[in-house]
Structure 1
Amino acid sequence: MGHSQAAKAESRERVLRIAARRIREEGMTAPGVADLMKEAGLTHGGFYKHFASRDELMVQAAALALEDGEAKMAEAARRDPDEPRTGLIDAYLSARHRDAPGTGCALVTLGSAAGRGATEMKEAYEKQVRGYLDLIGEAGQGDDPEETRADAMVTLSAMVGAILMSRAVADPQLSDELLKTVAERLKHPAPTV
């Protein structure tokens, strides 16, 4: 790859990374092309050298944001080899994750957009849901595959929902309580009656 092609690829990657961060922070509709290009240190006119349309950029940036989240979850599971599920839950349901949506899990911010989006968007979202389910299932300690899968679905749904709600409420104490309570219940389920 020549110097100009390498520079072009680097610029494209920079725009994608910025767009991925911005859609995690603001959702799919907020970041405009002009703002993204300016933040990347590029001209608005240069956008079409990299992408056919804003929609193409948004789908690719969403896929990148989703992939980044899965990598972080896998890293959290590896922190404590004896308790990978606890590591996942603690990392996901943390104040740090809640307070940094730009680097956080895109499942939280992209759920409704994926639900209304094009097939490519739904497929990218689904790929990451499946990846998280596999990761959570592998971190569990069950012998029954159906029960392990069901537990992974409940765990993922609870974690995504808790982060979403903890970011959306105005009361900081309730926000903290949501994270703490859901984390504790996922790690230590209440006995069934």
Structure 2
Amino acid sequence: MTKVSKKEETRKRIINAASQAFRSNGYAGIGVDGIAKEAGVTSGAFYAHLGSKEGAFEVALSVGLDEVITAIPEFQRQHGKQWLVAFSDYYLSQSHRENLSCGCAMTTLSPEVVRTKPQLQSLYEEKMKEIVALVAQGIEGDSKEECIAKGWALLGVLIGGLTTARAVASIKTADQIATSIKSAVINIAGNIKESTT
């Protein structure tokens, strides 16, 4: 096991702080000083590691979407044909709804990407295509194109559903939204594939 250097530990701490801050507060809702304070470092250390607020957002976006890229195959392996039910249950659960800072980057950061430069939108598109391809591998369809189309639809419904459930005031309404969204997701998916890995 390799020893992580102090510099690497500091960088990781700054990235984690930036990721949680952007998910909780949005891009405009937190500054460099706030992220540095959350990470327990100086603003100078922040700039030394990530260069700028925009640089921090790019890293946070990449790390956040990579979490999903890692999670989906794990759900597919652990839950077999029930993977999408398990994933939807987790995704729309009350604990995930209430945890903005550690919640899914697809939901919290997508609206922020809309207002960024094309380079970041290209990064987002590349990662989202990878996520869709993973979803598509876990569902059945008459063609690869159909599975990809279902994958985009599933993600759109889940992301929109989580956003809506988070925005309402009452847990009862949020639970109703979650139940409806889970049902819609299963209907869109149709037959689910057993993981081959």
TM-score, normalised on structure 1?
0.86
- Match for residue 85 of structure 1? 84
CA distance in 2, matches of 1:100, 1:120: 28
Amino acid at match of 1:135: L
CA displacement at 1:138 relative to structure 2 = 0.9
Amino acid at match of 1:41: G
- Match for residue 66 of structure 1? 65
In structure 2, do the counterparts of structure 1 residues 86 and 44 end up closer, same or farther at CA, with 3 Å as the change threshold? same
- Match for residue 109 of structure 2? 110
Amino acid at match of 1:79: Q
CA displacement at 1:83 relative to structure 2 = 2.5
Q: Is the 8 A contact 2:65 2:128 kept in 1?
A: no
CA distance in 2, matches of 1:118, 1:75: 32
Matched, 1:144 2:148: no
In structure 2, do the counterparts of structure 1 residues 45 and 147 end up closer, same or farther at CA, with 3 Å as the change threshold? closer
CA displacement at 1:127 relative to structure 2 = 2.3
Q: Is the 8 A contact 1:23 1:62 kept in 2?
A: no
CA distance in 2, matches of 1:129, 1:123: 10
Unaligned runs of 5+ in 1: none
In structure 2, do the counterparts of structure 1 residues 129 and 179 end up closer, same or farther at CA, with 3 Å as the change threshold? same
- Match for residue 125 of structure 2? 126
Aligned positions, number: 186
Q: Is the 8 A contact 1:107 1:160 kept in 2?
A: yes
1:32-71 matched pairs, under 5 angstroms: 32-71=31-70
Same amino acid, percent of matched pairs: 27
Unaligned runs of 5+ in 2: 189-197
TM-score, normalised on structure 2?
0.85
